[in-house]
Chains A and B, each alone.
Chain A
Amino acid sequence: MSARAGLSTLVRAACALVLAALALAPVARAATPAQPPAAAGAASGLAAAVTDDVIAVTSDFRGARITVFGATPARRAPGDVVVAIRGPGAPITVMRKRRTGPLWLNRDPVSFADAPSFHAVVSAKPLVQIASTRDIWELGLDPAAQARLTSATPSDADPSDYRQGLVRLQRARGLYQEAPRGLVLRPGGLFKAQVALPANAQPGAYRADVYLFRNGRLQATESATILISRQGLEQTVYALAQERPLIYGLFTVALALSAGWVAALIFRRS
């Protein structure tokens, strides 16, 4: 274990060392200041917050746990709480596999605008028992609702097939989650919801929205922001690759050339 940890430290130290030069370059850091959790909705009495409003993606990032907690106003009849955590929307293309000769090729691309890059919904019981189908769709509690089609679907396909395909694929990657029994509601109106953010989640500004339903109707909403940001080495490498690709490429080549040369020297001597 200690040997492994030692090697790990060594690798990171090596990476840090080769990148020390890069850090000196005036690379703009995407240092969006962490926003404080939104103030409790005083009017409605629904309160919500997240335990960590900044999650750092560093070189040992392996995913994170997001905890949303809060309190509902009415102690006797707390109602139904639904927590939705959503990542930044991004355009995405979904393709259908179609047999062409002997091969299965990716064909018939359909584009979606603003498909959430991450979407998790946590509630104490299945959504259909809490809210109307219309509310589920309009509030974007169904990830497919937020993915707007921006191109025509092929004539022999149903747009909803593509939508469901997108949801299925993102679910398989752990990026779309549904936990209909994941919300813990304590007597007295305190609630807590936990979501496992997978390591492949895209960095960016996330939002946690809390909805309070009573008898199938929306009573109040509250939200908090969570910033998933690359930091340290990860941020330096990413920013350099995006903003100074030529320097980044030349640096990678220089690293490769010197490593090969040094290895040849060392092994020749011994």
Chain B
Amino acid sequence: MMSIYLPIAELPVNALVILLMSGAVGFVSGLVGVGGGFLMTPLLIFLGIPPAVAASTEAAQITSTSVSGLLAYWRRRLVDWRMGLLLSIAGVLGSVAGVRLFAAMKEIGQVDLLITLSYVFFLSIIGGLMLWESVGALRRKSRGLPPTRRKRGRTLAHVLPLRMRFPASGLYISVLPPLAIGFGVGVIAAVMGVGGGFILAPAMIYLLRMPTQVVVGTSLVQVLIVTSLVVVLQSTQTRTVDLVLATLLIVGGVIGAQLGVRAGANFSAERLRAILAVLVLGTGLKLAYDLVATPAEMFVLGAPR
């Protein structure tokens, strides 16, 4: 078979399997409009790639898919650059903190636990919410009801000081909530090897009350800048980025995502979102089970100290 040796992970993988897998995840992310990182990293871990290498290398794939996405939204003028850069500044600080945390946990041999726990936590929540929302949408659709409208109104962001105008989003809100959200997503991106779009987008809609059409494009600004930085930081501080694996992931992901965007018109987004939700929830539960079930082997190898 097409075996290719990964120089940093120090093991061979089947290149075709990685290409197909990243292509499939890219396809789904192009179709549904979510980043694929939170699916791809656990899949790589299931394949036997060390979690630290999986998370760091996946950041490179997200960088490439977010460029294509951002260009598409930019052409349609659906990017709030001011908000995007504000989120990015906080995201940069967050990812620096995240890589520090990652390195510290690697030092004490707990980085795999940190990654697994983060996944269990976020996959369960995101999977649950996605399932809830998509089942609701499917039921409304089958009854012939219109999709629900988002409530408009004031949130904490409208009350806090240091307010600023965001013309592209038609908002006049405090800069503190975007900074806090950007920082948190930066930490998560560094630790989990994800773009964080799946947290960023709901936070922008529900906490900042940004118009839905500019949310994805704007979040991609932050995702692009933060994942680029994460790749550089993980390369210099933890040396866990595998360039050969990254190349395979980028090629598969970029092609898959473009095909997914094109196929989008022919699919029922709600049904697909429901399937994706089940997949996400299942992955989270599998990881959780492994943490709770009594292990067969009571010893484990850690990084040298």
Chain A residues within CB distance 8 Å of chain B: 4, 7-8, 11-12, 14-15, 18-19, 57-62, 90-97, 102-106, 109, 111, 161-162, 165-166, 168-170, 172, 199-200, 202, 230, 233-235, 237-238, 240-242, 245-246, 248-253, 255-257, 259-261, 263-264, 267
Tell me, rounded to whole Å, the shortest Cβ–Cβ distance linking B293 to chain A: 8
Q: Mark B269-305, 1 if CB is under 8 A from A, else 0.
A: 0000000000000000000000111110111111111
A61 surroundings in chain B (CB, below 8 A): 5, 12
- Chain A: minimal CB distance from B196 (Å): 16
Nearest B residue to A266, CB-CB: B258
A8-B2, A105-B113, A111-B305 given; A97·B246 CB < 8 A: no
Which residues of chain A are within 8 angstroms of B255 by Cβ–Cβ distance? 263
Query: Inside 8 A of B254's CB, which chain A residues have their CB?
Result: 259-260, 263
User: 6 A-B contacts, Cβ less than 8 Å apart?
Assistant: A92-B304, A96-B300, A237-B243, A252-B235, A267-B68, A267-B261
CB distance from B275 to the nearest CB of A (A): 25
Would B241 and A8 count as touching, CB distance under 8 A? no
B301, A260: Cβ atoms closer than 8 Å: no
What are the 6 tightest A-B residue pairs by CB atom distance, in nearest-first order?
A249-B235, A260-B67, A165-B299, A249-B232, A93-B302, A260-B64
- In the assembled complex, the Cα of A251 lies from the Cα of B247 at a distance in Å of 11
Which residue on A lies nearest to B255, using beta carbons?
A263
A residues in contact with B108, CB < 8 Å: 109
Q: B110 in the interface, Cβ–Cβ < 8 Å?
A: yes
Asked if B47 is at the interface (CB within 8 A of a chain A CB), the reply is no
With contacts A106-B113, A257-B63 known, is A237 near B246, CB below 8 A? Answer: no
The chain B residues found within 8 Å of chain A, CB to CB, are 1-5, 7-8, 10-12, 15-16, 19, 60-61, 63-68, 71-72, 108-110, 112-113, 228, 231-236, 239, 241, 243-244, 246-248, 250-251, 254-255, 257-258, 261-262, 291-295, 297-305
Do B63 and A199 touch (CB < 8 A)?
no
**B67/A96 in contact, CB under 8 A:** no
Kindly identify which residue among A58, A109, A242, A260 contacts B109, using a CB–CB cutoff of 8 Å: A109
Q: Which residue from chain A places its CB closest to the CB of B248 in the assembled complex? A: A11
Interface-central residue, A102, A242, A256, by most chain B CB under 10 Å: A256
The answer to whether A169 touches B301 (Cβ under 8 A) is yes
Tell whether, in the assembled complex, residue B236 and residue A246 are in contact, meaning their CB atoms are under 8 Å apart: yes
A167 to B284, CA, bound (A): 31
Given A249-B233, A260-B71, 12 more A-B residue pairs with CB atoms under 8 Å apart are: A11-B251, A60-B4, A61-B5, A92-B304, A94-B301, A96-B299, A165-B298, A166-B299, A237-B7, A241-B8, A263-B64, A264-B71
**Contact status A256-B64, CB under 8 Å:** yes
Shortest B282–chain A CB gap in Å is 20
Nearest residue (CB) in A for B8 is A241
Least distance between B244 CB and chain A CB atoms (Å): 6
Q: A93 with B292: in contact, given A234-B7, A242-B239, A256-B63 (CB under 8 Å)? A: no
Given A103-B291, A237-B7, A256-B61, check contact A97 B300 (CB 8 Å): yes
Contact A60 B5 (CB under 8 A): yes
- Taking the closest CB of chain B, its distance from the CB of A92, in whole angstroms, is 5
**Chain B residues in 8 Å Cβ range of A59:** 4-5, 244
Asked if B7 contacts A238 (CB within 8 A), the reply is yes
Task: Point out the residues of chain B lying under 8 angstroms from A62, CB to CB.
Answer: 3, 5, 12
Contact B231 A252 (CB under 8 A): yes
> Chain A residues with Cβ under 8 A from B303's Cβ?
93
| Chain A residues with CB below 8 A from B16, complex form | 4, 7
Q: Is the CB of A199 within 8 A of B5?
A: yes
Q: In whole angstroms, what is the CA distance A177 to B293 when docked? A: 29
Give every chain B residue within 8 A of A240 (Cβ-Cβ).
Answer: 243
B164 smallest CB distance to A (angstroms)? 29
